[in-house]
Structure 1
C-alpha cells in the first residue's frame, strides 16, 4: 500500500494545488493519546444518540462536556496544524467528521477502505442514515484522486445509487477508482459492499482540478 505522505503529495502533477493549503500527514498520528481521545469522543457520540439517562445524569454529562471544551479551547490551531484529518494511521484520519474507516489499499489503481457504521450514523429502523453514504463516497473520491497523482480537486457532482439497506455495526468494504481523465476533469466511481460482495450502494462523481489560486 502506498502511504499518504507529504512525498505522495509532491509526486508528479500533484504540486498544483490552486489556492488550497499544502500540509503534510502527521507521522505521529497526534501522539500516543490522540487516537484514544478520538475513539472516546466517537463513543460519546454513539451514546449521546442512543441513551436515555435521567435529568441528573444529563446535567452531569453536560458539565463534563463543557469542562472538556474549556480544556481544549486554548489550543485552537490553524488548518493543517492540528492532527485531526492528518493522522493517516487512525480510522478516519483522526477526524470526527469523517467515517472511522481504515484504508487498506491506496495506490494509482484505486483505494479500498473497510469499517462499520456506528450508532451515531443511524437514520432509522436500524439502518445507516442515507446522508452518511455520500460523505463516505466523497471522502473516498478525494483519496482516489490523490492516490492517482491528480492535482487537488473539488467535487463537481456526486451521484449515489442506494441498492440495499446499509446495516449498522456490520463490517463493510468501499472501493473505487479513476475511470477516466479529461483535462481538469477526473471521473471516478466506487462500490459499497458487504464482505461477501453483496452490493449496498454505488456512486460516481466528477472531480475538477482547481485553477491557480482557486479555493
Structure 2
C-alpha cells in the first residue's frame, strides 16, 4: 500500500463499493472445481453440434444445476466469485481465466490462455475480449499501486497481431503517472517469445465518497 493511501487512512471507504475481503475458504474446497467445470461447459456450448436429444438432456441438466444453486444467491462482495485470488480469473466466470504472477506497486503481470469460448473467428480470440483483459488488469494495477477504488474513464487498445487461442500468453501493466484523482496506466500483451500482440492505455479515476 502506498504512502498516500496510508495517509488517507480510508482506502476501503472511497466510492459506494462494498468492502471486498479475500476469503480463500469462502467457496469451500470444491469451488475451483465447479468454476473450471463451468468454463469447460462454456467452451463446449460454443463449439459442439450435438443431436437434439443430447441438447435436450444438456438443457435439463443445466436447468437442474441452476435450480440447485439459486437458493444460495448472496449480496455483492459476499460470494467467492471474484474474491478467490488463488483461482484463475479470481474464480469469476466473467473474468478471463488468467493468473497473476506479480502484483505490486511496480506493476502487475498475469499469464493465461484464451479458450474456445473466447473465439471470434478463424481461430483467433474475439477482439472484444482483449479490452476485458486489459480493463480487469488495470483494476489490479491501480489497486496494487495503492490507489483508492477507481473507475475506468477511457480505455484504448491497439491490436498489433492476431491473438491466438489455446496459446500461453503474458500481459503486463503498470502505472505511468498520477495526477490528483487520475491514474494513467498502460499494458502489453505478448506471447511466450515476447511478440507484441496488443497494447493498451487507460485513465482510471478515483471515486468520490459514495460515488457508484
Q: Of 172, 175, 187, which aligns to 2:172?
A: 175
Question: Does structure 1 residue 105 correspond to structure 2 residue 97?
Answer: no
In 1, Cα distance between the equivalents of 2:36 and 2:145? 30
Partner in structure 2 of residue 59 of structure 1: 56
Q: How does 1:1-215 map to 2 (within 5 A)?
A: 12=6, 13=8, 14-28=11-25, 30-215=27-212
Distance change in 2, residues 1:213/1:150 (3 Å): same
RMSD: 1.3
Residues 83 and 90 of structure 2 are in contact (CA less than 8 Å); yes or no, is this contact kept in structure 1? yes
Q: Deviations over 1:143-188 (max 9, x none)?
A: 0000000000000000000000000000000001000000000000
| Superposed displacement of residue 29, structure 1 | 5.8
| Superposed displacement of residue 27, structure 1 | 2.3
| Number of residue pairs aligned between Structure 1 and Structure 2 | 207
In 2, Cα distance between the equivalents of 1:86 and 1:15? 15
SS of corresponding position for 1:164: coil
Residues 12 and 19 of structure 2 are in contact (CA less than 8 Å); yes or no, is this contact kept in structure 1? no
SS of corresponding position for 1:53: coil
Q: Return the TM-score normalized by structure 1.
A: 0.94
Residues 29 and 90 of structure 1 are in contact (CA less than 8 Å); yes or no, is this contact kept in structure 2? no
In 1, Cα distance between the equivalents of 2:13 and 2:179? 17
Residues 29 and 35 of structure 1 are in contact (CA less than 8 Å); yes or no, is this contact kept in structure 2? no
In 1, Cα distance between the equivalents of 2:103 and 2:110? 9
**Ranges of 4+ aligned residues in structure 1 off by more than 4 Å:** none
Q: Return the TM-score normalized by structure 2.
A: 0.95
Show structure 1 runs of 5+ residues with no match: 1-6
Residues 185 and 203 of structure 2 are in contact (CA less than 8 Å); yes or no, is this contact kept in structure 1? yes
Residues 111 and 177 of structure 1 are in contact (CA less than 8 Å); yes or no, is this contact kept in structure 2? yes
